[in-house]
Chains A and B, each alone.
Chain A
């Protein structure tokens, strides 16, 4: 356990030196604040609270940005260190390979956590100052959105490690990471939508849509944040959520599995790898 913490601390320190922490925090804060100011302007008397509008726009932003940031941080973690030669030295020390992976994971999650909480926290403070939202339900949804954003980040950090442990070169890992990002964030949903349109309204077999939504962590995240409360009506995800047996717990569990499985695979591959 101590080894894991030592590695995690080093990752965080390195992230601060590399300005990764700063850059991520600033990007998230800037976009969150922009969405807050822009998004809360036109609501007027529509009935949706400002906070709900912000939740919808922020979680759509998260789906694009957080996986990208997570993959950028993580795809290099193992293969990059092997290529630069720092892994060779590290493995000569009394530390297990699993501890290295877990330590890095913890460090990277800490960085993401900090960036997300600061970035979205800034948006929350701005909203509170504007006095737009007092609804407790919506605030809870906001907090859960922030938390699940970190979880979504964890999923893609773990996927990034899996890529990093299996790729032979850094550039390959980078390419695969970009490909995975495109697949999960853009292509999958387009294909899903295309499929639904092609089915021409015929109903899908029971549970198939649920399964397809669980098979993509970004969809699970979307359903989790937009499937209930004020955001549901606003985003149109309420319709999907109503017909789905996927509760918040199931979605959270799916995201956890999406984190644990790639992480376990990455550790396994890394342990077997000749350095």
Chain B
């Protein structure tokens, strides 16, 4: 698949002292949804600003749709969508005025406004009120609407779901799925690791400006080789003999369940043995390491290095 964004050995240093980014390299392909994960101040926003060409890298090369974004090529900018973290607008203008202002700048027909409002779930009645009266969620939706203007090929979303309630988050992610199937490259940064889990095909973890992991969630699980957790609830209070296997340490987990950590390679054989002895077991749950666990793991291993 053709790549839309490429970053090669990019570093950014502010004021000769602060290293905001250190030697980042990756490429993003068409139709890919990539999650950018990291602490506050890890360099996520700096990276997005570099990709938008708002700042220039101290060293390295950035290419978006084949061009250097810092040159400010208008044709490329027209094919980008950007939602800044905690987006803000001119309070005195209405939602519709704001959207048509941005639409004019992007040379997009303003008649698409109503459709966009509907897509992001902003009531038409609210669109004609001043933004001063909007809730944070409504501002976020307006922010999303402006990012979607002109069907962008590449979307940069900085903390897009902050301030959205759960129903709107679902709505937001179905929008993302729709865009992805249309071939849009989406880079979204977030703290909400749990909700990214099934949404992002790929995860890039940054910490203190360095890229410490890049891959699909399954890749990362394999690299991290974190143990899976297995939870078994026996039928009666007694512990079946089978569970006293060597090499597996069971611990009580309240409500009479037992939990154990199993290495990646051990889990299938163990599951097999447990299901052969299914008679003594009421429920059996298997928990893969979550993105949260992976994130913590990669952070710790970087700190240790």
Question: How distant is the Cα of A86 from the Cα of B55 in the complex, in angstroms?
Answer: 16
Name 21 A/B residue pairs within 8 A (Cβ), A-sorted.
A6-B101, A6-B105, A10-B90, A10-B93, A17-B92, A85-B86, A85-B88, A86-B89, A86-B90, A89-B82, A89-B143, A92-B54, A93-B102, A93-B105, A94-B75, A94-B78, A94-B105, A94-B107, A274-B55, A275-B49, A275-B55
Please indicate the chain B residues that have their CB under 8 angstroms from the CB of A6 in the complex. 101, 104-105
What residues of B have a CB within 8 angstroms of the CB of A86 in the complex?
Answer: 88-90
Q: Which residue of A lies closest to B48 (CB)?
A: A92
Residue of B nearest to A86 (CB): B88
**CB-nearest residue of chain A to B55:** A274
The B interface is mostly helix, strand or loop, or mixed, namely mixed
Residues 70-99 of A at the B interface (beta carbon under 8 Å): 84-86, 88-96
B37 within 8 A of A: no
Starting from the known contacts A14-B93, A17-B130, A92-B82, 20 additional A-B residue pairs (CB-CB under 8 Å) come to A3-B105, A10-B90, A10-B93, A17-B92, A17-B93, A84-B88, A86-B89, A89-B88, A89-B89, A90-B105, A91-B52, A91-B54, A92-B54, A92-B84, A93-B77, A94-B105, A95-B105, A96-B72, A274-B14, A274-B55
Q: Is the CB–CB distance between A88 and B130 below 8 Å?
A: no
A1-27 Cβ-contact flags toward B at 8 Å (1 or 0): 001001000100110011000000000
CA separation between A89 and B93, bound complex, in Å?
Answer: 16
Residues of A within 8 Å of B49, CB to CB, are: 88, 275
Q: Which applies to chain A's interface (DSSP): helix, strand, loop or mixed?
A: helix
Contact B87 A85 (CB under 8 A): yes
Which of A13, A88, A91, A93 is the one whose CB lies under 8 Å from B106? Answer: A93
CB distance from A267 to the nearest CB of B (A): 14
B148 at interface by CB-CB < 8 Å: no
A92 adjacent to B77 (CB under 8 Å): yes
For the complex of A and B, the 10 pairs showing the least CB-CB separation, nearest first, are A17-B92, A94-B74, A94-B77, A92-B82, A85-B88, A93-B105, A6-B104, A88-B84, A92-B52, A94-B78
A13 adjacent to B82 (CB under 8 Å): no
Q: Is the CB of A92 within 8 A of B101?
A: no
* Chain B interface category by residue count: 20 to 34
A contact residues around B52 at 8 Å (CB): 91-92
Which residue of B is nearest A11, CB measured? B90
A83 to B80, CA, bound (A): 23
A: which residues have CB within 8 A of B?
3, 6, 10, 13-14, 17-18, 84-86, 88-96, 274-275
* Chain B positions 75-116 with a Cβ under 8 Å from a chain A Cβ: 75, 77-78, 80, 82, 84, 86-90, 92-93, 97, 101-102, 104-107
CB nearest to A16 among chain B residues: B92
The distance from the CB of A46 to the nearest CB of chain B, in whole angstroms, is: 48
Output the least CB separation between A253 and chain B (Å): 33
Residues of B within 8 A of A91 (CB): 52, 54
Q: Does B211 contact A (CB under 8 A)?
A: no
- The reply to whether the CB of B190 lies closer than 8 angstroms to some CB of chain A is no
Question: How many Å from the CB of A75 to the closest CB on chain B?
Answer: 17
**B146 contacts chain A at the CB level, 8 A cutoff:** yes
Q: Within the assembled complex, what's the spacing in Å between the Cα atoms of A14 and B97? A: 10
Pair A92/B80 contact, Cβ less than 8 Å: yes
Closest to A91 in B: B54
- Distance to closest chain B CB from A177 (angstroms): 21
Task: Give Cα A274–Cα B87 distance, bound, in whole angstroms.
Answer: 18
Across the interface, which residues of A come within 8 angstroms of B86, CB to CB?
85
Residue of A nearest to B156 (CB): A92
- Distance in angstroms from B101 CB to nearest chain A CB is 5
